[in-house]
């Protein structure tokens, strides 16, 4: 029964079935499965989709669908991990969000999902996040990485504003900054003083590992 639930959960993520993923996560909790085993099963599935996307075998809608299915199950499993006190080795802590004035979330959500699957502790602040909110979260969570997204050209300068604020507060040297989104380029990332940029969600995960030397 346990393997049946885990296999079903993997399949639900790879078939982009949000409802099935959520229901199987609930069943896993009811059956008292080790939540870390459940999370590992989900991680295998999302990594396979991410790898296939990286090879060009799958497309962006596939990655979005798999991320959505994993997000449907994730809160249930994370709550069980907290309840049971299970410990998972963390690669580092990430604060992520879409900058102020921008309410686009798909790319940011995919990155957060894949970072979580990879083993990072991710605090997704959401969209339309002001510089002060990013700074407060960095302090609160003692973050290793700040990941900012901006889809629109008019909101891209907000990323620079956050970095400048980090410098003023003496926090810039204590954190790695990665940026992304439709409005961002490698040149722009260097210009504003970010530590790295990648145009894809799977690439962002590799970048995060590189930035912290893992």
| pLDDT for the residue 1 | 67
Instruction: Assign domain 93-211 one CATH number from 3.40.718.10, 3.40.50.280, 3.50.50.60, 3.40.50.300.
Output: 3.40.50.280
Instruction: Tell me the CA distances in angstroms from 155 to 96, 105, 126, 136, 168, one per residue in order.
Output: 16, 14, 15, 20, 21
Q: How far apart are CA 62 and CA 203, in angstroms?
A: 16
Domains 2-84 and 93-211 share a fold: no
Find the length of the chain.
Answer: 214
Residues 160 and 188: their CA atoms lie apart, in Å, by 9
Helix (H, G, I), strand (E, B) or coil at 143: coil
What is the residue-level pLDDT of the chain in tens, covering all 214 positions? 678 999 999 999 999 999 999 999 999 999 999 999 999 999 999 999 989 998 999 998 999 999 999 999 999 999 999 999 988 889 999 999 999 999 999 899 999 999 998 999 999 999 999 999 999 999 999 999 999 999 999 999 999 999 999 999 999 999 999 999 999 999 999 999 999 999 999 999 999 999 999 8
CA 162 centroid distance within chain: 19
What residue spans define the domains of the chain?
Answer: 2-84, 93-211
pTM over 0.75, yes/no: yes
In degrees and rounded to multiples of 5, residue 68 shows phi and psi of: -65, -40
Residue 212 CA, distance from chain mean position? 16
Fold of 2-84: 1.10.1240
Per-residue pLDDT reduced to its tens digit, 136-150: 999 999 999 999 999
Tokens found for residue 148: 């900012």
Residue at token pair 């963390």 = 90
């Amino acid at each position: 029964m346990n393997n049946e639930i885990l296999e079903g959960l993997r399949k639900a993520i790879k078939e982009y079935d949000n409802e099935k993923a959520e229901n199987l996560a609930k069943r896993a909790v009811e059956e008292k499965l080790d939540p870390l085993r459940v999370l590992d099963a989900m991680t295998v599935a999302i990594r396979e989709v991410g790898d296939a996307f990286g090879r060009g075998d799958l497309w962006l809608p596939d990655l979005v669908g798999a991320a959505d299915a994993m997000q449907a199950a994730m809160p249930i499993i994370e709550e069980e991990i907290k309840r049971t006190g299970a410990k998972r080795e963390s690669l580092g802590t990430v604060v992520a969000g879409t900058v102020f004035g921008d309410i686009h979330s798909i790319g940011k959500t995919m990155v957060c999902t894949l970072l979580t699957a990879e083993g990072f502790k991710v605090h997704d602040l959401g969209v339309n996040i002001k510089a002060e909110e990013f700074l407060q979260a960095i302090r609160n969570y003692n973050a290793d990485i700040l990941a900012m997204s901006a889809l629109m050209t008019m909101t891209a300068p907000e990323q620079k504003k956050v970095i400048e604020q980090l410098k003023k507060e003496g926090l810039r040297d204590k954190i790695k900054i990665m940026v992304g989104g439709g409005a961002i380029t490698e040149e722009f990332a260097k210009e504003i003083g970010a530590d790295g940029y990648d145009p894809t969600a799977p690439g962002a995960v590799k970048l995060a590992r590189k930035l912290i030397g893992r």
